[in-house]
Structure 1
Amino acid sequence: MMKNKGLILLLLCFGSLCYGQNSPKKIPLTALILSIEKQFNIKFSYAVEDVVAVSIEKPETTLTLPQVIDYLNAKTVLNFKVLDKRYITVSVINKTIAVCGTVFDQENKRPLSGASVLVKNTSRSTVTTEKGIFKLQNIPLNSTITLSYLGYEIKEIPAKELFLSGTNCLEITLTAKSETLNQVLINVYLTPGLQKFLDGSTVLNTKKFGILPGLIEPDILQSIQILPGIESTNESIANINVRGGTNDQNLVIWDNIKMYHSGHFFGLISAYNPNLTEKVTITKNGTSAEYSDGVSSTINMQTKDVVTNRFSGGAGVNLISADAFLAIPLAKDLELHLSGRRSITDLFDTPTYTNYFERSFQDSEINADSSDKNTNSDFYFYDFTAKLLFDLNDKHQFRANIIGINNALAYSESNAITNNTETKASTLSQNNIGYGGNWKAQWTSKWSTNLITYFSKYNIDATDYRVETDQRLTETNEVLETGVKLNTHYKVNKHLSLLSGYQFNETGMLNETTVSAPSYKRTKKDVLLNHSLFSEAEYNNANTYLRVGMRINYFQKFDKILIEPRINIQQKLSTDFALKLEGEFKNQTTAQIIDFEDDFLGVEKRRWVLVNNQDIPIATSKQGSFGIEFNQKKLNIELTGFYKLVKGITASNQGFYNSFQFINANGSYIAKGIEFLANKTARKYSAWFSYTYSINDYEFAVFTPSVFPNNADIRHSFSIGFYYDIIKNLKVSVGGVWRNGQPYTKPIPGNETIQDGNTTMVNYDSPNNENLDNFMRLDASLQYNFNLSESIKASFTAGVINASNQDNVINRYYKVNPNDTNDAIQVDNKSLGLTPNISFRVNF
């Protein structure tokens, strides 16, 4: 009776596909035992629970009984022992086994490459191959295997179900998470770890990231510059220009916290450590109604969000910094993730640091040669993150996190000529700290909510002591922002889902300037409260993807309402061709004022200011784009035309080096152009070519001329790259960039300076009427992965930026010659020269 119950239970289990899909050649072991008992007139003695879930391929009917017993012992994790001619016992062997599986997407049955495979409550893990296959040796018989993949539900399977007893591996399917219909369109986009989604957004998965030319790690804000339409006119991630916009027009979010600072080394290195950042989503247009701010783009970073019950981590060092991260299980449903990074540049110099330092502080007091001063400078940076994950049950998840970013510069000088040994010190400190928390609740199979709260604080504090004048200049810029957002998701069916929600933000900003001689102090504080309602519908079937939404913003201080429609459509014309249409209205209530090179040690500073709806109005954008995509046999070709109008910009946040440099005025810019990308991927390589053509013009009604080229007006930009797996663990990536030089303004020939009262200034010609020489750079990277032990993986990466040591001028301005006030001196800021870097990492 017990055997029959076990057989019925087993058949029911297989009928409901308990653990993926078994090969059709396998049959339940209990059924095979009944067949063998009848064939040889014997009896098996066993516990039902030991055999009820075991399946096996049926042996050949010509085998003898001893051969059958040997076959059963070889193909199962059980021990079949012959007691006598009549009875055979069956028992579980307390041993380790080899396991094997092939992981597929449940809907389209494609293999999932790079899926994580973890032996629960141990440090053993691996990832699936390009064909979705994984194998592990010496796994405890009674252990559980956890399978996970970004965007899919986690699945757990007993190890004995995956027992490798031949050439066939168990087929396992993972189900896409139900909360999103925005599926992956291109799984490998330019390089492993970059994916293209149906809504046109690009997702960087740092865990699966390959390498890009010149990079030694997946530097988030450096990596996205490979995409067409995204430039950095001055080679800095602190100045990323998306379709002609300024850096402060990019909304940067880290785990739902709005960030106001993005770079180390004054923009040469991303301030966001990639090792605990699981994915980064970059959206240029057609943004979800959930997001406001960022009239040019949205960069949304998300860290690991799954409780793994596994202690893991890693550490690395390169020629600029060292870092470490840990995932620490505290209880079954409680886990802590930590990361930290600090520069090593204040401990010893490296060739990489020397190049970065010279690039950051060229034409500044810090690098200035002076025979009458003794100078000393010290620079360092660090960042850290912490995240607490708590799963109350399978319906409710709680998360709390913190991020801190800090840059510090100290500079001292003393008079070397006089006997006065007094030393004056100057300091510059930038930091951004953020706190956040969220509660995800799955109330029913169709309805879920996500409550988000955050607090972000940004500070820049500068103190400049000058020896020759005994003057102290102190400047402070502080941003305090608190936000609350409630998202509600309702899944109508497998094709349609609805999102609606409410968001509240309170943003306060302080700007303070103090001068000691003559005595002067100015303090300005502003606070703005913003309420928003948003709703959108997302639809996806075999040929059509549609996301349409609306956001209503109410600015309490100005009693003003802005309504922002959003649309995102992709329509397949055939299996190979698709059309895409994107559009959005957005607004922005913050902006950065640029302090020029002569304001503090020659180092450029940017201060955040809040709109006042008068001389600093709310910036608004209207953007539309239309394109066609071709995708066949891993060849992807995209052609997109775009048009963007941004109103409400101010002259003071554009960084003008012309006659408008110190004039307050409001204006707009129009950016329009085309983006082209061709990308061919294969099992071992990826090659790409991109081209962007754009026209970008300012319009300031009070200026003469009123229309002139934008500072970020790069008409032609080309990039080419190649990624190749030389052998299994050795990868190489080579690529280059060529683009027009950015516009600049020359003084009027023969009349280069002009007198304004007691002040002599450069007498500029027509604004942005000249262009720098073309910019060209070749980069390369090489990565080798290896195992230090069964559970410790290591990698060595070498990269070189500007391998040809091209002499690129990235900015040009003029200043009055102190020795001849009738003459203007040309100042050229140059890009990084040949800059090598290496890194060594271990992960466990």
Structure 2
Amino acid sequence: MFFFLLVSLVNAQERTSINYNQEPLVDVLLDIEKKFDIKFSFNSELINKQSITFLKSIASLQDIITAIESQTNLEFQKASERYYLIKRQTLLDLLSTQQLDEVVISEYITSGVKKKDDGSVVLTPKTLGILPGLTESDVLQSLQLLPGVQSPTETTSGLYVRGGTPDQNQILWDGIKMYNTGHFFGMISAFNPYITKDIAFFSNGTSARYGNSISSVIDIASYNNVPEKIEGGLGFNMTHADLFLKAPITKKFALVASARKSYTDAINTFTFQNLSSRVFQNTKISEGNKIYDDDNVTLTNDSFSFSDVTLKAIFNPSEGDEVVFSSLFTKNKLDYGFLIEEFEEVSKDVLDIKNKGLSLTWNHNYSNSFSHEIQAYYSNFELDYEGTNNYPNDLFNKTTKNNIILDKGISIHTNWKINKENSLAIGYQLSSNKVDFSLGYDNNYFPDDLYEDINRKSNSTNTIYTDYQFKKTRKWLIYLGLRGDFASLLKKFYLEPRLLTEVYLSKPIKAKIALERRHQNLSQILEFNTRDFGLENQVWALAQDDYVPLQRSNKLSIGFNFNDNGWNIDIDFYKIKTKGLSSLTRGFESTGANYSEGESSISGIDILLKKRINNYRTWLSYTTTKKDFNFNDINNSQSFSGNFHIAHQLYWSHSYKLNAFDFSLGWRFRTGIPYTKALGLQDDGYSILYDKINNERLPNYHRLDFSATYKFNISKSDTWRGKLGFSLLNVYNKKSILSRDNRVRLSTDPDTPYFLQETTKTSLGITPNLVFRIEF
């Protein structure tokens, strides 16, 4: 009786056990037809030579269809309750066209991560397997599992890709350029994973349609299909709550909306307390604006919050047309106040960071071989900071900082699939940037200290590019790209050639080589005006003569890949030469605000080793790099180690699935970053005397993370589903040093009015997190 009840329950829920490991798609479809009593109609040429990997103890028909669509270039259309049509995905852009008939590695490190023929890595949050320390997908933090991607600051948005800096990454959300990508000063990604369809990550061999960045490209695409019925979900963890809704208004029109909001301004959870300790340490907030170490400080205001909202409209007027409107708004606000009773000093700091964006896209297929994409976008970034100190007798001082970016543009991208082996894309882009930043200081006790620095620049860029690709399945891949930019501010024209070649040496072994030249005219510079505040001390600025140079890089990458019998070994050797760096963009403590121009040389090796055994996966990623700076007026023009240079990094992860439970464990190790040692105070008694720049290194860093999730059905019909999750960051509570600097403090000793204080910023301590979700 128990057996028949169990069988009846499974049939009623229309869910079954699935285990496909590189199974031919034709066999998968036959198996699905039997298990769900349905029929597929398709052209056999569409599914030849395609295979599927999907492992789940209990899965619905829609789960399997979604997995097949994410791993192939196919889409399913429901003709009736029992019959489905399968055809090639429409509205393909260059990225999917480069894929043609196959994905080289459909499960690069875990489910939901695949590596395409063009060298890009694509993450699909909906099917992404459990990752160490994460109970739900974080759009940016998930990338840190890849070799060559580092985060020496322990933030999700502070990604250093192959020695590059975070501001050298181009991050797009539905075609909108994003200039603030993190909540809570980078500890949480600013992008909602539950409405994110794919994240395409390029570290080399980048398509010529991407420009104005010299490191990586992270192209985030949100959900863009008209669903058959209303779908949604809501949930919370120990820092924020969220909800999303996908609503079909008609068969051709749908709305997709999402919202996330922190609740830590009302409930101070243990998770948020640990994150706060990590973020605010050694800042004005953590120290209460103390003049002397023994000052008594009273907190008068304590408020921090973040939120993000998205709204998207999808319209398919005909089979070959798609019109999509996307919008995104992110916000972070900090408001802190202190009172030092002994000096009757009232201090207040208010920081607002906003990023707004809009995009409108029209995709049109003229035929199976020719299509276009026309897109317009608008992005607005605003940072406003004001710090005030009020004293008796109406005395005060005020520090202000403002940074505004207005970025808008339009582009047309055409794609022509000449034949099965050749494809060509041609495009044009026009973008306009207006970037303002201002720094100010006002003091009515010393009016001569009044200070204001305003920088306002505008630039428009005209771009034409072309991509050509030749592909012989399982034999050759040759990609050639050329991009030309004319920047109005610098009145210069730049050419960016791109080359990617792949050749199969044998069935499981492939060799690859990539060459590219890149430029970047918008970067972040270090400002010293708000250094005492200790947070967000960088501002965006356009490249301009004698102040912020244009950054230029040449990149070479040579690699090999082995993929067979559950094993995946990927090795990349790379060398990067970057010019146009400045001491203001890199920030050297010992040089202060003095300007100097220089370059960097980076060489490294990325290694990924992965093995899958049934429900168990393990992967190990290792990166070794050498990064040297050379500046004309620093360190006697001799080379020195670059900031945040990590010589060795190792990440070893494990995941295991047991029925409805998923477990993951990961250990990471890296060598310490360089720092400049302070030798003491100079003869004037208040200036710091430094040793050679970046001549010392911090101790090594290591951490163990754990996570587990449990998925369950709330309703018998599988309409409502739930998930519980638990994660533990830094299981053994290792406090590693992330940075070390020095500051001059006032002394109570009249003979030595100043003393040198060394300060260190330590890593996040043991931090648990819980998540509960409901989806329908």
Verify same fold: TM over 0.5: yes
User: Does the Cα contact within 8 Å between 2:502 and 2:511 map onto a contact in 1?
Assistant: yes
What letter matches 1:764 in structure 2? Y
What letter matches 1:809 in structure 2? I
CA 1:101–1:155 in 2, change beyond 3 Å: closer, same or farther?
A: closer
User: Does the Cα contact within 8 Å between 1:201 and 1:284 map onto a contact in 2?
Assistant: yes
Does residue 689 of structure 1 match 2:620? yes
Which residue number in structure 2 is paired with residue 812 of structure 1?
A: 740
Give matches, 1:804-843, under 5 Å: 804-819=732-747, 820=752, 823-843=755-775
Which residue number in structure 2 is paired with residue 126 of structure 1?
A: 62
Q: Secondary structure at the match of 1:154?
A: strand
Following superposition, the deviation at residue 317 of structure 1 comes to: 0.2
Cα deviations across residues 511-538 of structure 1 (Å, max 9, x unaligned)?
A: 1223331344332210011111100112
Distance (Å, rounded) in 2 between the aligned partners of 1:535 and 1:451: 16
Distance (Å, rounded) in 2 between the aligned partners of 1:456 and 1:385: 14
Deviates more, 1:321-330 or 1:465-474: 465-474
What letter matches 1:345 in structure 2? T
CA 1:500–1:682 in 2, change beyond 3 Å: closer, same or farther?
A: farther
What letter matches 1:808 in structure 2? S
Does residue 319 of structure 1 match 2:238? yes
Does residue 509 of structure 1 match 2:430? no
User: Does the Cα contact within 8 Å between 1:615 and 1:666 map onto a contact in 2?
Assistant: no
Does residue 461 of structure 1 match 2:402? no
Distance (Å, rounded) in 2 between the aligned partners of 1:615 and 1:599: 20
Does residue 255 of structure 1 match 2:174? yes
Give matches, 1:491-506, under 5 Å: 491-506=417-432
What letter matches 1:763 in structure 2? L
1:397 aligns with one of 322, 346, 359: 322
User: Does the Cα contact within 8 Å between 1:21 and 1:173 map onto a contact in 2?
Assistant: no
Distance (Å, rounded) in 2 between the aligned partners of 1:202 and 1:816: 46
Following superposition, the deviation at residue 392 of structure 1 comes to: 1.2
Which residue number in structure 2 is paired with residue 545 of structure 1?
A: 477
Does residue 235 of structure 1 match 2:144? no
Distance (Å, rounded) in 2 between the aligned partners of 1:22 and 1:253: 38
1:559 aligns with one of 476, 491, 501: 491
Which residue number in structure 2 is paired with residue 473 of structure 1?
A: 399
Following superposition, the deviation at residue 424 of structure 1 comes to: 4.6
What letter matches 2:399 in structure 1? L
Does residue 776 of structure 1 match 2:702? yes
Distance (Å, rounded) in 2 between the aligned partners of 1:310 and 1:159: 15
Which residue number in structure 2 is paired with residue 373 of structure 1?
A: 297
Does residue 603 of structure 1 match 2:535? yes
Distance (Å, rounded) in 1 between the aligned partners of 2:485 and 2:371: 24
Cα deviations across residues 247-281 of structure 1 (Å, max 9, x unaligned)?
A: 10000000001110111111111111111011101
Which residue number in structure 1 is paired with residue 47 of structure 2?
A: 106
Which residue number in structure 1 is paired with residue 13 of structure 2?
A: none
Which residue number in structure 2 is paired with residue 667 of structure 1?
A: 598
User: Does the Cα contact within 8 Å between 2:232 and 2:243 map onto a contact in 1?
Assistant: yes
User: Does the Cα contact within 8 Å between 1:207 and 1:278 map onto a contact in 2?
Assistant: yes
Q: Secondary structure at the match of 1:126?
A: helix
CA 1:373–1:23 in 2, change beyond 3 Å: closer, same or farther?
A: closer
Does residue 304 of structure 1 match 2:304? no
Q: Secondary structure at the match of 1:345?
A: coil
Aligned length: 719
Q: Secondary structure at the match of 1:359?
A: helix
Following superposition, the deviation at residue 594 of structure 1 comes to: 2.4
Distance (Å, rounded) in 1 between the aligned partners of 2:159 and 2:630: 21
Distance (Å, rounded) in 2 between the aligned partners of 1:223 and 1:668: 30
Give matches, 1:181-580, under 5 Å: 181-182=98-99, 183-368=102-287, 371-375=295-299, 376-417=301-342, 423-468=346-391, 470-517=396-443, 518=447, 519-542=450-473, 543-580=475-512
What letter matches 1:252 in structure 2? I
Which residue number in structure 1 is paired with residue 560 of structure 2?
A: 628
Which residue number in structure 2 is paired with residue 617 of structure 1?
A: 549
What's the TM-score once normalised by structure 2's chain length?
0.88
What letter matches 1:485 in structure 2? S
User: Does the Cα contact within 8 Å between 1:107 and 1:175 map onto a contact in 2?
Assistant: no
CA 1:22–1:435 in 2, change beyond 3 Å: closer, same or farther?
A: closer
User: Does the Cα contact within 8 Å between 1:547 and 1:569 map onto a contact in 2?
Assistant: yes
User: Does the Cα contact within 8 Å between 1:621 and 1:647 map onto a contact in 2?
Assistant: yes
Does residue 761 of structure 1 match 2:761? no
Cα deviations across residues 59-98 of structure 1 (Å, max 9, x unaligned)?
A: xxxxxxxxxxxxxxxx9xxxxxxxxxxxxxxxxxxxxx96
CA 1:563–1:437 in 2, change beyond 3 Å: closer, same or farther?
A: same
Distance (Å, rounded) in 1 between the aligned partners of 2:86 and 2:420: 18
Deviates more, 1:153-162 or 1:634-643: 153-162
Distance (Å, rounded) in 2 between the aligned partners of 1:22 and 1:548: 36
What's the TM-score once normalised by structure 1's chain length?
0.81
Distance (Å, rounded) in 2 between the aligned partners of 1:320 and 1:451: 38
What letter matches 2:208 in structure 1? A
Which residue number in structure 2 is paired with residue 154 of structure 1?
A: 75
Deviates more, 1:195-204 or 1:593-602: 593-602
CA 1:447–1:665 in 2, change beyond 3 Å: closer, same or farther?
A: same
Deviates more, 1:600-609 or 1:284-293: 600-609
Distance (Å, rounded) in 2 between the aligned partners of 1:544 and 1:21: 25
Which residue number in structure 2 is paired with residue 30 of structure 1?
A: none
2:647 aligns with one of 680, 691, 715: 715
Distance (Å, rounded) in 2 between the aligned partners of 1:129 and 1:798: 28
Distance (Å, rounded) in 2 between the aligned partners of 1:615 and 1:315: 48
Distance (Å, rounded) in 1 between the aligned partners of 2:267 and 2:529: 28
User: Does the Cα contact within 8 Å between 1:364 and 1:597 map onto a contact in 2?
Assistant: no
Q: Secondary structure at the match of 1:366?
A: helix
Q: Secondary structure at the match of 1:237?
A: coil
**Unaligned 5+ runs, structure 2:** 1-24
Q: Secondary structure at the match of 1:367?
A: helix
Cα deviations across residues 802-821 of structure 1 (Å, max 9, x unaligned)?
A: 11100100000011242246
What letter matches 1:110 in structure 2? S
Higher relative contact order (CA 8 A, sep 6+): 2
User: Does the Cα contact within 8 Å between 2:50 and 2:72 map onto a contact in 1?
Assistant: no
Which residue number in structure 2 is paired with residue 166 of structure 1?
A: none
Q: Secondary structure at the match of 1:353?
A: helix
Cα deviations across residues 280-338 of structure 1 (Å, max 9, x unaligned)?
A: 01110110000002211001100111112321111110000000000111222111100
User: Does the Cα contact within 8 Å between 1:318 and 1:838 map onto a contact in 2?
Assistant: yes
CA 1:506–1:470 in 2, change beyond 3 Å: closer, same or farther?
A: same
**CA-based RMSD:** 2.7
What letter matches 1:238 in structure 2? S
Distance (Å, rounded) in 2 between the aligned partners of 1:755 and 1:509: 41
Following superposition, the deviation at residue 176 of structure 1 comes to: 5.8
Following superposition, the deviation at residue 704 of structure 1 comes to: 2.5
Distance (Å, rounded) in 1 between the aligned partners of 2:276 and 2:81: 57
CA 1:101–1:112 in 2, change beyond 3 Å: closer, same or farther?
A: farther
CA 1:368–1:612 in 2, change beyond 3 Å: closer, same or farther?
A: same
User: Does the Cα contact within 8 Å between 1:106 and 1:175 map onto a contact in 2?
Assistant: no
Does residue 798 of structure 1 match 2:715? no
Following superposition, the deviation at residue 558 of structure 1 comes to: 2.5
Does residue 787 of structure 1 match 2:713? yes
Distance (Å, rounded) in 1 between the aligned partners of 2:529 and 2:453: 21
Following superposition, the deviation at residue 586 of structure 1 comes to: 0.6
The sequence identity of aligned pairs, in percent, is 29
Cα deviations across residues 355-393 of structure 1 (Å, max 9, x unaligned)?
A: 001111001221116644322321110011111111110
